[in-house]
Structure 1
Amino acid sequence: MLREVTAVRYVTPLREGGSMPGLVAGDDHRLYALKWSGAAQGRKALVAEVLAGCLGRGLGLPVPELVRLDLDPVLARSEPEQQIQEQMRASGGLNVGLAFLSGALNFDPLCFEVDPQLAARVLWFDALIGNVDRSWRNPNLLVADGRLHLIDHGASLIFHHSWSGAANWTRRPYDAGDHALRRFAGDLAAADAELAPRATDQLLAAAAAEIPDEFLLDEPGFADPAAVRAAYVAQLSARLAGPRDWLPELSAEVTR
């Protein structure tokens, strides 16, 4: 279950990505990259962050810890930039935090090597959730203490932006042409054989259960947050049910 953390100090903006997360100190004396509930991407980016992140952790992938992060907008007083101040004021209350990895470096596919098995597992996971934001241009991967870490899953699960056509997504092929780890990926069939049986409905439901009610309220077409969670589980379960022809074909040569 996601821990509850209260932001006690705003440190600095992390000037990367469209949402420009903020670095905050929590009441547990740890640092977090705070994903704003008031950002332009909206609450669905946070839903995807929580669901995909918790699912990835449940599958044993190296996703930093996620927390429910409460923000008092008064902390905006310490930020001199007006645009960021406004975003902080719009994000009062519940947000999502990702454990900050001190000293981490942005992954560069030309500078780092990745274990082929791990690369295949990450690629399989991204294909499952439809993550369109893991390109070699913007990999959303960090390297800390010699280990790869997966961050920023807010651009995945794009079917939830149009529930009326969500059923079509379950068989949509995943385009891995620009994926940051494609050139490293080993046997994708082996990754599928390992991970698909672990992605049970129970694991999917446990990940969906971590989505705060506040992010699911008033979703058009659904009676309550429980119904929205059930729809997420049904979508991912259908995608896993097979045939898994949405998995990418890796035989083509990678070009830059």
Structure 2
Amino acid sequence: MLSEVIATRYVTPLREGGSLPGIVEADDLGTYVMKFTGAGQGRKTLVAEVVCGRLAQRLGLRVPRLVQMQLDPVIGLGEPDQEVQELLKASGGLNLGMDYLPGSIGFDPLAYQVDPAEAGRVVWFDALINNVDRSWRNPNMLVWHGDLWLIDHGATMIWHHNWPTAQSAAAKPYNASDHVLAPVGPDIAAAAAALAPLVTRELLEEVVADVPDEWLVDEPGFDSTDALRRAYVDVLLPRAATIHERITMEAEVKVRTGPPGWLADRLDPRPRKMKSDSE
């Protein structure tokens, strides 16, 4: 079960995300990135963050620690931004917090090298959860203390927006051609061999148990939160066993084994012979 903290101060909004998350301090003296139930994407975004974030952690991938965060909208009374005030008013009660990683920087494939083994694990995991939001346009990864961290899993498991078609949607291939790590040449086979056996029914049941009941209630087609949790397990479990067979990459994706030429020239300390005018 996720630990619970109480938000004590709203610090600032993070306008990079469409759901307008914010940096918030809590009663445990921690600082968190908070995602709100009152955001336009709704509570299913928070469900996806918990399921995918906890699953990634259990598989050995780096994801900031998740907490349940109680919010009293009164802490936003001094916020000058009307949009933020309205978001806080609409989000009283239980929200989601993620450890804030101070000093982290956004992942840049030209500046940070990822080996094919680690890239394979990330791509395989993204295929499992059908993450459509890890492209070169928006990597949703951070580099912190020299390590790669995965963030923002709200736009995953798109099948949970239409449960009657969930099984057929989950069976579709995952096109990784646009994935930010595709040029690295991710070792998908090795990742599947290492990670797929870890995704057991027991593991998935433990992961979905971390989702608060109040984010699962009143889902059409389910008579209880337990039934809805089983639906998540029943989709993810068979997908984990075979998704590596349905990961596709277009032929034109080129494997990058080092920095681009212009950057390599700048990084290479060796003097280069200058061409003469006669050459």
- TM-score interval, smaller chain: over 0.9
**Quick check: 1:172–1:246 contact (8 Å CA) kept in 2?**
yes
- Residue of structure 2 equivalent to 1:138: 138
**Residue type of the alignment partner of 1:186:** P
> How far, CA to CA, are the matches of 1:243 and 1:160 in structure 2?
18
Q: Distance in 1 between matches of 2:158 and 2:77?
A: 35
CA RMSD across the alignment: 1.4
Q: How do 1:161-200 and structure 2 match up within 5 A?
A: 161-200=161-200
Spell out, residue by residue over 1:58-87, the C-alpha distance to the aligned partner (whole angstroms, 9 max, x if none): 101001100001111001112110011101
The answer to which of 191-200 and 106-115 deviates more is 106-115
Distance in 2 of aligned mates of 1:3 and 1:13: 23
Alignment of 1:149-164 (within 5 A): 149-164=149-164
Count of aligned positions: 255
Cα deviation, 1:131-183, whole Å, max 9, x if unaligned, reads 00001110110111111100000000000111111110232111111111111
Q: Secondary structure at the match of 1:196?
A: helix
- The answer (yes or no) to whether the contact 2:47–2:211 under 8 Å persists in 1 is yes
Determine which structure has more spread, i.e. the larger CA radius of gyration.
Answer: 2
Maintained 8 Å contact 2:119/2:187: no
Instruction: Tell me the residue number matched to 1:207.
Output: 207
Is 1:19 matched with 2:13?
Answer: no
Residue 243 of structure 1: CA displacement? Answer: 6.8
Maintained 8 Å contact 1:66/1:99: yes
CA distance in 1: counterparts of 2:176 and 2:243, whole angstroms: 18
2:240 — aligned with what?
A: 240
Q: Whole-Å Cα distance in 2 between the matches of residues 185 and 50 of structure 1?
A: 29
Shift of 1:103: 0.5
What is the CA distance between 1:246 and its match in structure 2?
A: 2.4
Counterpart in 2 of 1:36?
A: 36
Matched residue SS, 2:218? coil
* Offset at residue 240 of structure 1 (A): 2.3
What is the identity, as a one-letter code, of the residue corresponding to 1:121? R
**How big is the shift at 1:250?**
7.0
**Percent identical:** 54
The answer on whether the counterparts of 2:128 and 2:243 sit within 8 Å (CA) in structure 1 is no
Aligned pair 1:70/2:73, yes or no? no
Query: How many angstroms apart in 2 are the aligned matches of 1:183 and 1:226?
Result: 41
Query: What corresponds to 2:91 in structure 1?
Result: 91
Question: 8 Å contact 1:133–1:139 — kept in the other structure?
Answer: yes
TM-score normalised over the length of structure 1: 0.96
Aligned partner of 2:80 in structure 1 is 80
Structure 2 distance, partners of 1:6, 1:185, is 43
Q: Aligned with 1:172: secondary structure?
A: coil
CA distance in 2, matches of 1:234, 1:104: 36
C-alpha distance in structure 1 between counterparts of 2:109 and 2:37, whole Å = 31
Letter in 2 for 1:147: D
Q: Is the 8 A contact 2:12 2:22 kept in 1?
A: yes
Amino acid at match of 1:135: S
- Residue-by-residue CA offset, 1:86-144 (whole Å, 9 max, x unaligned): 01110110001110000010111222111321111000000000000001110110111
